[in-house]
Amino acid sequence: MSGMVEKKGKAAWLVHLGLILGILVVCFPIYLAFIASTVSSGDLVRPPMPLLPGEHFIANYKEALFSGVNTPVWNMLLNSTIMALGIAIGKIIISLLSAFAIVYFRFPLRNVFFWLIFLTLMLPVEVRIVPTYEVVANFGMLNSYSGLILPLVASATATFLFRQFYLTVPDELAEAARVDGAGPMRFFVDILLPMSRTNIAALFVILFIYGWNQYLWPLLMTTDPDMNTIVMGIKQMFPSGDDLPNWPVIMATALLAMLPPVLVVVLMQNLFIKGLVDTEK
Amino acid sequence: MATLNLIDVKKSYGKDEVIHGVNFDIHDKEFVVIVGPSGCGKSTLLRMMAGLETVTAGEIKIKDRRVNELEPMERNIAMVFQNYALYPHMSVFDNMAYSLKIAKLGKAEIKARVDNAAKLLQLSEYLKRKPRQLSGGQRQRVAMGRAIVRKPDVFLFDEPLSNLDAKLRVQMRLEIKKLQRDLGVTSVYVTHDQVEAMTLGDRLMVLNGGYVEQFGSPIDLYERPASLFVAEFIGSPSMNIIDGHAADGVVELVNGVRLPGSSEVAGAVKAGIRPEHLSLDPAGVIAIRKGVAEQLGSSTLVHGTLDGSDIAISVALPGVHREEQLDDVMCFSVMEQGLHLFSADGKRV
Amino acid sequence: MDKRVTFSGWWLPMLLILPQLLITAIFFFWPAGQAIYQSAFMPDPFGLKTQFVGWDNFTFLFEDEYYLASFKTTAIFSLLVTALSMGVALWLALMADRIIKGSGTYRTLLIWPYAVAPAVAGVLWLFMFRPNVGLMSWYLDKVGYDWNHVLNDGQAMGLVVVASSWGRISYNFLFFLAGLQAVPKSVIEAAAIDGAHFWHRFRTIVFPLLAPTTFFLLVVNVVYAFFETFGVIHTITSGGPQQSTTIMVYKVYSDGFVGQDLGSSAAQSVVLLLIVGMLTIVQFKFIERKVHY
């Protein structure tokens, strides 16, 4: 409805105004969180809370990062980074390989395997949470990075995305490579991988955010505060009894928790949108 | 000394046989074109020679060595694909050098060979570019270059010009011909375009439905088509075919016109006359009622019907003839050797 | 759809597919099998051993008013989250599509909340609505509205709905904007020349063309509300007050991990499994149909 049909003058300003209003409403919770992370605890128990930044910015963030409540936030950031990278990279690697096998080879049980992987589309981790927990516990992988990462690594989405992409690669390219003397793995590494790099990057953005924002799984898996990830660790910072939560430090942690994925989305916006559209259809 | 022999080669997909026993021998340095309509199995045959399709039965030999079980690379062939199949993320240089790198040649040798091929194909200034930065003709040359650098025993071309526009196609056709002569590499070239086939090939193989219709020099095929199919397929505009009856050395066409034929033929026949083998002759027996005339400049194509019937017939008149200056009914005689006779089952008689 | 050319051999592809198969088998099929198996057993009162009970877990489940309530809660919650997040997103997308210059900037400013984890969103909204002292609750008190989601069912539901919808607006906005921008300009212009006003154009031309996007988002948002909002509920209400915000996924967790009732939790997992299966089929039917467009 743009182009010629766009209204001029007052109507256009109304549209801009509406959008700005929408953005303000959407951004307001974050702004408030930022204010809260720059004031003292005392400022927050005497309503109404201030609406302009206070003077405790450095003190709050320092406290969050280096002492935290149960464990220093830098440690949780590290755990989250390892988990998010592990999930994203792990998924991409196993999916690249399995999609390559499915598209470029004919082997016994190929269709059976294909459907087995396909079925996992229907099983989000939340559904099979209790038995998966038991499996991981049996392997002794509680409170470990492998326990955090491995159950979330297998997913059909990435495999499907790469399969779709491989199918668009002209058959002749593989034939040319064969005539040139390249074996399957050589073709995969020299030709298919470099051609997939945009898809890989787009998928990485989406999977990194997916991994970073995991909540339920780390909540079950990590009983040791040292293994907490930041997204699940925030909730652990609330005291259990009637004690007052240390809101400035909690809000500083919340902002630190959203910073990496938000940066990824904003800085790699085009890849992010491509990834979103690719994975959701 | 690279020869290529196919001995009773067959190909089946499941129970469907698509190539029904093809035999031929290609001499060293020879340029053979396999031509036929789409789906006739020509590409399949080429891909079997390349090692991209398995051979169901029979034997393929390159330099007298059985290659059925060998990988494409081990056969020492090079292939040029219809869509060029250039690696999109590699520069022109890397595209050409890829097979040499796999073969673990030295850096200096690779550079020398690629530079040499690039010079031959006038690609020297484009070596750093990616395929998407090249024009269609340049991409085509890169695909050729990729084949040349390997110094293969045999070149295989799979409709390499069909993605180019008409003008470029003619130009590249000449370049391929010249290159093949200069390099002296045995070549097999697949196309559905009979003009390309006629101009390029030392010998032509016409393939139809997985059977070889005829294998011979372009002129052979033009002058003595072995079957109705070849007669109609080779030559442009294509041959006029008219039903008739032969007896006592005379062929009587369906509209009653009688032409001198061969005394050895008798019974129902199909008579074939090329449009360019009919000459304007007021005394000629073939009367044609004018339909439309197409001006090609160097000649004029007149499409009409045999007078007194509705059988379509075309005539090629040399030079320019304005439609309004042509008579409504014109008489033609058939040039010497211009009449081809085929039996009811399509065989030349 | 298959490729024409394939590499030969079978051990290499087996090797390539093995990592994914192993992980799928160990972390998907084994647990899913376990869930189905466990759903047929019940521990004795002392928790010493389990015994086979067949369908009993399911029978109990559907006689359990708390479970039936969680069904209803899930339905209401999903409906509200889907409607709110899609409605706001469509409104914003319609506006962003109307401007030529700067729509990229608005897009950048609107999409980043997608990256905020539901659990973090929960904390942010909880902070604003802390009873008595939160900024929003304090102002609500001022205008005479008593806010206390810790005690009030409806307010608790409202808060988790808003917190769950918030980050989702970005996602829906992106897809709606893409859908709107794919509507051919010529169609809109033709309608404008025919004298159709904005609202009329929207109703008769844009909305029908947007229907595939809308339907897709509907399914995706319901799936989101079902499974991915666990973090919001866990951080804000922990399912309370009196289970009024206990959606099905939350109940699987609280019965299985907090209540240690593995049989019932497994049976609930199986029920969820069936629901996901149905949603997936709906989604595939849709994709199938989309192919014919």
What is the Cα–Cα distance from B18 to B6, expressed in whole angstroms? Answer: 16
The average pLDDT across A145-151 equals 91
* A269 vs C280, residue with greater confidence: A269
From C14, C98, C257, residue closest to A1, measured CB to CB: C98
Give A-chain residues touching B96 at CB under 8 angstroms.
none
CB contact under 8 A, A178 and B146: no
Phi-psi region of C39 (alpha: psi -120 to 50; beta: other; left: phi over 0): alpha
Radius of gyration of chain C (CA): 24
Q: Is the pLDDT of residue A7 over 60?
A: no
CB contact under 8 A, C32 and A128: yes
Note whether B201 and B189 are within 8 A (CB): yes
Dihedral angle over CA of A49, A55, A57, A62, nearest 10:
-120
pLDDT at A65: 86
pLDDT at B163: 84
In this predicted structure, which of A153-157, B152-156, B282-286 has the lowest mean pLDDT? Answer: A153-157
The average pLDDT across C175-190 equals 82
Give C-chain residues touching A107 at CB under 8 angstroms.
9-10, 13-14
* A7 vs A34, residue with greater confidence: A34
What digits encode the pLDDT tens for the residues C195-221?
667 777 777 778 888 888 888 888 889
On average, the pLDDT of chain B sits at 90
pLDDT at A1: 42
On average, the pLDDT of chain C sits at 84
Q: Is the pLDDT of residue B39 over 50?
A: yes
SS3 string, chain C, reads CCCCCCECCCHHHHHHHHHHHHHHHHHHHHHHHHHHHHCCEEECCCCCCEEECCCHHHHHHHHCHHHHHHHHHHHHHHHHHHHHHHHHHHHHHHHHHHCCCCHHHHHHHHHHHHHCCHHHHHHHHHHHCCCCCCHHHHHHHHCCCCCCCCCCHHHHHHHHHHHHHHHHHHHHHHHHHHHHHHCCHHHHHHHHHCCCCHHHHHHHHHHHHHHHHHHHHHHHHHHHHHHHCHHHHHHHCCCCCCCCCCCHHHHHHHHHHHCCCHHHHHHHHHHHHHHHHHHHHHHHHHHHHHHHC
pLDDT at C46: 64
Give A-chain residues touching C268 at CB under 8 angstroms.
none
CB contact under 8 A, C116 and A261: yes
Q: Is A149 exposed, middle or buried (0-12, 13-18, 19+ CB in 10 A)?
A: buried
Q: C touches which chains (3+ CB pairs under 8 A)?
A: A
Q: Is the pLDDT of residue A277 over 80?
A: no
In angstroms, what separates the C-alpha of A186 from chain C's closest C-alpha?
12
pLDDT at C45: 62
Note whether C59 and C65 are within 8 A (CB): no
Distance of CA B340 to the CA centre of its chain: 21
Q: Is the pLDDT of residue B45 over 50?
A: yes
The average pLDDT across B126-132 equals 94
pLDDT at B20: 92
In angstroms, what separates the C-alpha of A261 from chain B's closest C-alpha?
30
What is the Cα–Cα distance from C89 to A156, expressed in whole angstroms? Answer: 28
The average pLDDT across C42-64 equals 76
Q: What percent of chain B has pLDDT over 70?
A: 100
Residues with Cβ < 8 Å from B157, sequence gap 6 or more?
A: B79, B80, B176, B187, B188, B189, B190
Q: What percent of chain B has pLDDT over 90?
A: 55
Class assignment of domain B4-233? alpha beta
pLDDT at C286: 65
- ipTM comes to 0.87
From A5, A209, A251, residue closest to C189, measured CB to CB: A5
Collect all residues from A whose CB is shorter than 8 A from any CB in B: 170, 172-173, 175-182, 186, 190-191, 194-195
CB contact under 8 A, B77 and A179: yes
User: A69-279 in CATH: which number?
Assistant: 1.10.3720.10
What digits encode the pLDDT tens for the residues A234-246?
988 888 777 788 8
CATH 3.40.50.300 residue ranges of chain B are 4-233
Within 10 Å of residue A58's Cβ, how many Cβ atoms? 9
CB contact under 8 A, B103 and A182: no
Q: Domain C55-292: what homologous superfamily?
A: MetI-like (1.10.3720.10)
Q: Is the pLDDT of residue C123 over 90?
A: yes
Report residue C240's pLDDT band, with 50, 70 and 90 as the boundaries. confident
Residue of A14, A77, A123, A272 to mutate when probing chain C, most C C-beta within 10 A: A123
In this predicted structure, which of A85-89, A251-255, B211-215, C94-98 has the lowest mean pLDDT? Answer: C94-98
From A95, A131, A262, residue closest to C38, measured CB to CB: A131
Q: Is the pLDDT of residue A192 over 90?
A: yes
From C31, C100, C223, residue closest to A2, measured CB to CB: C100
Query: Dihedrals φ, ψ of B289, to 5°?
Result: -90, 125
* C-alpha separations of A26 from A29, B118, C124 in Å: 7, 59, 12
Report residue A118's pLDDT band, with 50, 70 and 90 as the boundaries. confident
* C-alpha separations of A133 from A148, B175, C247 in Å: 11, 68, 20
What is the Cα–Cα distance from A121 to C287, expressed in whole angstroms? Answer: 15
Within 10 Å of residue C190's Cβ, how many Cβ atoms? 12
Q: B touches which chains (3+ CB pairs under 8 A)?
A: A
pLDDT at A280: 63
From C95, C132, C273, residue closest to A18, measured CB to CB: C95
A210 token code pair: 């997916």
Whether residue C249 lies within 8 A of chain A, CB to CB, comes out as: yes
What digits encode the pLDDT tens for the residues B51-109?
999 899 999 999 999 999 998 889 999 999 988 899 999 999 999 999 999 999 999 99
Note whether B261 and B250 are within 8 A (CB): yes
Collect all residues from B whose CB is shorter than 8 A from any CB in A: 47, 50-52, 71-73, 77-79, 81-89, 98-99, 102-103, 146
Residues with Cβ < 8 Å from C58, sequence gap 6 or more?
A: C39, C267, C270, C271
Report residue C98's pLDDT band, with 50, 70 and 90 as the boundaries. confident
What digits encode the pLDDT tens for the residues B312-329?
899 998 888 887 788 888
- Locate the domains of chain C by residue range: 55-292
- Locate the domains of chain A by residue range: 69-279
What does the longest C-alpha to C-alpha distance in chain C come to? Answer: 78
Task: Tell me which chain C residue has its CA closest to the CA of residue A47.
Answer: C133
Report residue C10's pLDDT band, with 50, 70 and 90 as the boundaries. confident
Q: Is the pLDDT of residue B271 over 60?
A: yes
Helix (H) or strand (E) holding A191: none
CB contact under 8 A, A175 and B52: yes
The average pLDDT across C249-272 equals 84
On average, the pLDDT of chain A sits at 86
Report residue A62's pLDDT band, with 50, 70 and 90 as the boundaries. confident
Of chain C residues 48-67, which have a CB less than 8 A from chain A?
none
pLDDT at A2: 43
pLDDT at C8: 82
CB contact under 8 A, B89 and A195: yes
Q: Is the pLDDT of residue A3 over 70?
A: no
CB contact under 8 A, A178 and B102: no
Q: What percent of chain A has pLDDT over 70?
A: 94
The average pLDDT across A135-156 equals 88
pLDDT at C5: 64
Mean pLDDT comparison of A60-69, C171-180, C263-272, highest-scoring range:
C171-180
Q: Is the pLDDT of residue A70 over 90?
A: no
On the question of a cis peptide bond just before residue C184, with omega within 30 degrees of 0, the verdict is: no
